[in-house]
């Protein structure tokens, strides 16, 4: 059940609850939810951001407002956290002030510590381990483009990072086959991979982590990539560029290996010419703008279910 719960990873989210979020997001986007829909009326949610953000911050603040609530943006460095106050102390205090904490942090451990010391829901707005909010929007976008999720194939090309971890697990929970192409040493998180393999085996799906982008993309319905160096990895950019490019760049030529109807997806921001050619992300197969918009609708859906009366 989602009501009153934390949302830290997709590891403990059931396929049924994942589908409920996506289904409600589709209805909210289409205006099919009748009557006043203000589950956050009279509630205030704190947004603690340690990392900069465009889509995550804006989509969450607008979602909270549309649901009747108030968003309190708190930059990590402006809080006493920036001066070394224990996370547990901050969480205990906020627990008495607000109705929920949404945190965008460098370390998943910090997020887990917040959840441990707060009775109110704690929601992961991105960590080094995973990005579950992004995956919700990804799945809604796929459903819109193909009218189904079961049986699709997603090819992820690039770093087995936080986005990849959540995407991989969310996809198999929704019946989607996944092929990840990444250099040796940059594979997805082991716990997320093992959980994904277990779910894929249960559902009879194909899940693979390989080194060949062409093999991964062959016949795919969705081709997905992300930046080479995420926030906090800027010092590794030079090394990563040597490892990933040009083999793990999504090009027009690589897209031709996918199914003729395939779409391209990227969580943004992107670096045109690095992980993806401009002709791909700005081309007719690109679904990135719908994907970005759906961050708003899935945020509304998730918060609605967590704070349902």
Q: Number of structural domains, the chain? A: 2
Distances in Å between the Cα of 79 and the Cα atoms of 44, 47, 135, 143, 168 are 17, 12, 29, 40, 34
- DSSP secondary structure of 136-161: HHHHHHHHHHHS--TT-EEEEES---
Tell me, yes or no, whether 121 and 28 share the same domain.
Answer: yes
Q: Buried b / exposed e across 143-171, counting CB within 10 Å, b at 16+?
A: bbbbeebeebbbbbbbbbbbbbbbbbbbb
Residue 6 lies in a domain: no
- Given this model, what pLDDT does residue 305 score? 97
Residue 10 lies in a domain: no
Prediction pTM value: 0.95
Residue 3 lies in a domain: no
Tell me, yes or no, whether 217 and 246 share the same domain.
Answer: yes
Tell me, yes or no, whether 165 and 51 share the same domain.
Answer: no
Q: Facing residues of 225 across strands?
A: 157
- Given this model, what pLDDT does residue 257 score? 98
Tell me, yes or no, whether 149 and 80 share the same domain.
Answer: no
- Given this model, what pLDDT does residue 233 score? 65
What would the pLDDT profile of 61-102 be if each residue is shown by its tens digit?
999 999 999 999 998 888 877 778 899 999 999 999 999 999
Range of the domain at 51: 15-130+293-306
Does 33 have pLDDT greater than 80? Answer: yes
Is residue 69 within 8 A of residue 41, CB to CB? The reply is yes
Tell me, yes or no, whether 194 and 165 share the same domain.
Answer: yes
Tell me, yes or no, whether 104 and 212 share the same domain.
Answer: no
Tell me, yes or no, whether 147 and 277 share the same domain.
Answer: yes
Please confirm whether the linkage preceding 246 is cis (ω < 30° from 0). Answer: yes
Does 53 have pLDDT greater than 70? Answer: yes
3-state SS record for 31-66 = CCCCCCCCCCCCCEEEEEECCCCCHHHHHHHHHHHH
Q: How far apart are CA 267 and CA 284, in angstroms?
A: 17
Tell me, yes or no, whether 121 and 141 share the same domain.
Answer: no
- Given this model, what pLDDT does residue 232 score? 63
What would the pLDDT profile of 164-219 be if each residue is shown by its tens digit?
999 999 999 999 999 999 999 999 999 999 999 999 999 999 999 999 999 999 99
- Given this model, what pLDDT does residue 216 score? 98
Tell me, yes or no, whether 107 and 207 share the same domain.
Answer: no
Tell me, yes or no, whether 77 and 156 share the same domain.
Answer: no
Q: How far apart are CA 45 and CA 159, in angstroms?
A: 32
Residue 123 lies in a domain: yes
Q: Is 249 helix (H, G, I), strand (E, B) or coil?
A: coil
Q: Give the pLDDT band of residue 272 (cuts 50, 70, 90).
A: very high
Tell me, yes or no, whether 191 and 215 share the same domain.
Answer: yes
């Amino acid at each position: 059940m989602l009501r009153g719960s934390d949302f830290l990873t997709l590891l403990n989210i059931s396929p049924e609850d994942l589908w409920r979020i996506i289904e409600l997001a589709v209805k909210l986007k289409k205006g099919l939810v009748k009557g006043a829909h203000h589950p956050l009326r009279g509630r205030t949610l704190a947004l603690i951001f340690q990392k900069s953000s465009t889509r995550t911050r804006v989509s969450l603040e607008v979602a909270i407002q549309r649901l009747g609530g108030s968003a309190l943006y708190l930059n990590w460095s402006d809080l006493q956290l920036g001066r070394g106050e224990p996370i547990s102390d901050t969480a205990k205090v906020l627990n008495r002030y607000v109705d929920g904490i949404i945190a965008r942090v460098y370390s998943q451990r910090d997020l887990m510590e917040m959840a441990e010391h707060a009775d109110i829901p704690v929601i992961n707005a991105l960590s080094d381990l995973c990005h579950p909010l992004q995956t919700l929007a990804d799945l809604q976008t796929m459903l819109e483009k193909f009218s189904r999720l079961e049986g699709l194939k997603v090819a992820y090309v690039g770093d087995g990072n936080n986005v990849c971890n959540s995407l991989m697990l969310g996809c198999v929970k929704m019946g989607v086959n996944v092929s990840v192409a990444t250099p040796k040493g940059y594979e997805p998180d082991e716990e997320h991979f093992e959980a994904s393999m277990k779910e894929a085996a249960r559902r009879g799906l194909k899940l693979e982590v390989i080194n060949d982008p062409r093999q991964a993309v062959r016949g795919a319905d969705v081709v997905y990539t992300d930046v080479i160096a995420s926030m906090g990895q800027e010092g590794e950019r030079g090394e990563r560029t040597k490892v990933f490019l040009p083999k793990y760049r999504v090009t027009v030529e690589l897209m031709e290996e996918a199914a003729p109807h395939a779409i391209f997806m990227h969580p943004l921001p992107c670096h045109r010419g690095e992980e993806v050619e401009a002709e791909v992300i700005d081309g007719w197969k690109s679904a990135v703008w719908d994907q970005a918009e759906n961050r708003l609708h899935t945020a509304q859906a998730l918060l609605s279910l967590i704070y349902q009366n």
